[in-house]
Amino acid sequence: MRRRAFLQTTAAAAPFLILPRKSAAAQGDIPDLVAVRDGEPDAMFDRAIEALGGISRFVPKGATVVVKPNIGWVRPVESGANTNPILVKRVVEACLQAGAKKVYVFDHTVGEKMKECYEKSGIGPAAKAAGAILAAASNEKYYEKKQIAGAARLKEVAVHELILESDVLINIPVLKHHGGAKASIAMKNLMGCIWDRRAYHKDGALHDSISDFCLLRKPQLNIVDAYRVTMANGPQRARPEDVVLKKMLLASTDIVAVDAAAVRLLRPESHGAKHIALAAEKKIGSMDLTKLDIRKIRL
C-alpha cells in the first residue's frame, strides 16, 4: 500500500477509537450498539449480530423480512455510493437461515432506472444469489398514503407497501456525506421507502421530515456499512479521493444511537446533522452515547 493511501486509511479509522468505552454492563449482556472494524463486510456483520444476540432475536421463523440497503445510484461498489453487496448478501442469507419465509430487498432509486442501479451496484445479483426477492419500487401503485401521528412537518407520506406489511425491517445504509442533510446514514436511508421525496424538502423541512418518518416505522435492526465512506461531495459529486476505506460496521436497534455514532466517522462539518438531534428530542432514540453500552470489536 502506498504511504499516502495508508495514512488516509489509518487516519480515517481514528474516530472509531474515541467512541465511548463499553459501559460497566457484564460482557455477556447484549449491548445497545456494536462497532466492528478491520474486517470484510460479511465477517463484520457476523461478529456484530452475534454480539447483539444473534439474528434469531430479530427474525422469527416464518417472518416476512424487508432488507433496505441504499441502492440509489448507478455506480459500482468502489464509489461508496451504495451499500456494499457483500454485506447485503450476508444479511439476506442470515435471515433465511433463521427461518424467514420471504426476504425482500428494495430501494426507491434516486431519479435513475431501478434495474440499472440494482445491476451496477452489484446488490441485485448478490441479493438474488442469496435467495432474496427483488421488489418493485418504481411505480406509485406500490405505495400507500399514511398519516404520521406526532410528526412536526411530515404529516402524511406515501410509503411502500412492503414497509407497512412486513414483519421485520432491517435497514442497511451506507455511511456518506450528504450536501443537504450533512450526513446520510440510517434515518436518511429510509427516504428510499417513500414515493415522493419532495415531501421531505418542502419549506425547508428536510431534517424534521427525516426524523418524523421514524414515528411511523422504525427498523428492528440498523446496520451501517462504513466499509467505504464518502467523506465529501456526496451523494452525487463525490470524487475517488473523497471515498475513504475505513473497513467498519456499526449495528444497533436504536436508529438514533447508530446515526449519532456513525456521524463521528465523517468530517466535523457533518457532525451537525440536525435530524439526529431532532429525533432524540422526539424520543425516537438516544443520541447520548455516554449512557449507552457500546461494544467495540476489532477483527
All domains of the chain, ordered by start, with CATH?
3-298 (3.40.50.11440)
First to last CA, the chain: 20
Q: What is the pLDDT of residue 180?
A: 86
CA angle 5, 8, 12 (to 5 degrees): 145
Q: What is the pLDDT of residue 101?
A: 99
Show Cβ contacts of residue 286 under 8 Å, excluding neighbours closer than 6 positions.
Answer: 32, 254, 256, 257, 260, 280, 292
Q: What is the pLDDT of residue 3?
A: 35
Mean pLDDT by groups of 10 residues along the chain of 299 residues: 40 53 60 98 99 98 98 91 98 99 94 86 97 94 97 96 98 94 96 90 86 98 98 87 97 98 93 93 97 98
DSSP H or E run through 9: helix 3-13
* pLDDT tens string 92-112: 999 999 999 999 999 998 766
Q: What is the pLDDT of residue 5?
A: 44
Mean pLDDT score across all residues of the chain: 91
Q: What is the pLDDT of residue 152?
A: 94
Q: What is the pLDDT of residue 283?
A: 98
Q: Is 185 helix (H, G, I), strand (E, B) or coil?
A: coil
**Looking at 75-173, which runs of residues are DSSP E strands?**
102-105, 133-134, 143-147, 156-160, 168-172
293 and 19 in contact (C-beta within 8 Å)? Answer: no
Show Cβ contacts of residue 52 under 8 Å, excluding neighbours closer than 6 positions.
Answer: 30, 31, 34, 221, 251, 252, 253
Q: What is the pLDDT of residue 16?
A: 57
Q: What is the pLDDT of residue 269?
A: 82
